[in-house]
Amino acid sequence: MTETPRNQTYDLAVIGSGFAGSLIAMIARRLGRSVVLIERSRHPRFAIGESSTPLSNLLLEELAARYRLAEIRPLAKWGSWQRTHPEIPCGLKRGFTFYHHPLDHPAPQASDPAAPTAGRTRQLLVAASPRDAIADTHWYRADFDQFFVQVAQRAEVEYYYRIELNRVSQFPGHLLLEGCCPEPEPQPGAVSPRPPRSCSFRARFVLDATGPRGFLHRALSLGEEPLPDMPPTQALFSHFTGVARLADRPPAAPSSPDTPPFPIDAAAVHHIFPGGWIWVLRFNNGVTSAGAALTAPTAARFGLSAAASTPDCQPRYAAAWNQLLAGIPALQAQFARSERTRPFTHLPCLSFRSAQIAGPRWALLPSAAGFVDPLLSTGFPLALLGIRRLAAFLAATPPGQETTPQAAARLEDYAAQTGDELLAAARLIAALYAAMDNFPVFTALTMLYFAAVSYAEAAQRLGKPELASSFLLHNHPRFGPDLRRLIAQSHNAGSPIHSARFSEEIRRAIDPINVAGLADPARRNWYPVDANDLLANAHKLHATREEAEALLTRCGFYPQSTPSL
**What residue ranges bind ligand FAD (CB under 6 A)?**
15-21, 38-41, 47-51, 165, 209-211, 214-215, 235, 237, 291, 365, 367, 374, 377, 379-380, 383
The enclosing H or E element of 237 equals strand 233-241
CB of 491 to ligand FAD, least distance (A): 25
User: Smallest gap, in angstroms, from Cβ of residue 373 to ligand FAD?
Assistant: 8
The distance of closest approach from Cβ of residue 141 to ligand FAD in the complex, given in angstroms and rounded to an integer, is: 7
- The stretches of 85-175 forming alpha helices (DSSP H) are 141-154
Of 369 and 548, CB closest to ligand FAD: 369
CB of 544 to ligand FAD, least distance (A): 33
Find, among 219, 208, 202, 176, the residue nearest to 17 by Cα: 208
Say how far apart CA 386 and CA 208 lie, in whole Å. 12
Helix then strand then coil, % of the chain, to nearest 5: 40, 20, 40
- List CB contacts of 41: < 8 A, sequence separation 6 or more: 161, 162
Rounded Cα gap, residues 10 and 7, in angstroms: 10
Q: How far is the CB of 477 from ligand FAD (least distance, A)?
A: 27
- Give whichever of 199 and 441 is closer to ligand FAD, judged by the CB atom: 199
Pick 15 or 128: Cβ nearer ligand FAD = 15
In the complex with ligand FAD, which residue's Cβ is closer, 109 or 417?
417
Q: Which is nearer to ligand FAD, 155 or 493 (CB)?
A: 155
Distance CA 143, CA 373 (A): 23
Residue 300, SS3? helix
Q: Are 47 and 175 in contact (CB under 8 A)?
A: no
Q: Which residues of 496-529 are buried (b: 16+ CB within 10 A; e: fewer)?
A: eebbeebbebbbebbeebbbbbbbeeeeebbbbb
b/e map of 266-295 (b: 16 or more CB within 10 Å)? Answer: bbbbbbbbbbbbbbbbbbbeebbbbbbbbb
User: Is 109 or 377 the residue whose CB approaches ligand FAD more closely?
Assistant: 377
Can you state the angle between helices 54-66 and 439-461, rounded to 10 degrees? 20
Give the residue with the Cβ less far from ligand FAD, 349 or 550.
349
In terms of CB distance, is 474 or 548 closer to ligand FAD?
474
Residue showing the smallest CB distance to ligand FAD in the complex: 49
Task: Output 219 or 506, the one with its CB closest to ligand FAD.
Answer: 219
Q: What angle do CA 398, 403, 406 make, to 5 degrees?
A: 75
Task: Give the shortest CB-19-to-ligand FAD separation in angstroms.
Answer: 5
Closer residue to ligand FAD, CB minimum distance, 365 or 426: 365
Long-range contacts of 441-445 (CB under 8 A, 24+ apart): 441/490, 441/493, 441/494, 441/499, 441/502, 441/503, 442/98, 442/100, 442/272, 443/98, 443/124, 443/503, 443/525, 444/490, 444/493, 444/499, 444/502, 444/503, 444/506, 444/519, 445/486, 445/487, 445/490, 445/506
CB 124 to ligand FAD: min, Å:
17
Q: How far is the CB of 378 from ligand FAD (least distance, A)?
A: 6
Cα gap 349→343, rounded to integer Å = 19
Tell me how far, at minimum, the Cβ of 87 lies from ligand FAD, in Å. 21
Instruction: Give the nearer residue to ligand FAD in terms of CB position, either 351 or 490.
Output: 351
Alpha-carbon distance of 469 to 88, in angstroms, equals 33
**Residue closer to ligand FAD, measured from CB, 83 or 342:** 342
Cα separation of 111 and 106, whole Å? 7
Cβ distance to ligand FAD smaller for residue 426 or 486: 426
CB of 406 to ligand FAD, least distance (A): 27
Whole-angstrom distance, CA of residue 509 vs CA of residue 10: 49
Report in angstroms how near the CB of residue 227 gets to ligand FAD at its nearest.
14
Helices (H), 348-438: 366-369, 379-396, 405-434
Minimum separation from the CB atom of position 191 to ligand FAD (A): 30
Torsion angle in degrees (nearest 10) through CA of 44, 91, 470, 19? 10
Please state, as a whole number, how many other Cβ atoms lie within 10 Å of the Cβ of residue 258: 11
Smallest separation, CB 471 to ligand FAD (Å): 12
Q: Is 128 exposed, middle or buried (0-12, 13-18, 19+ CB in 10 A)?
A: buried
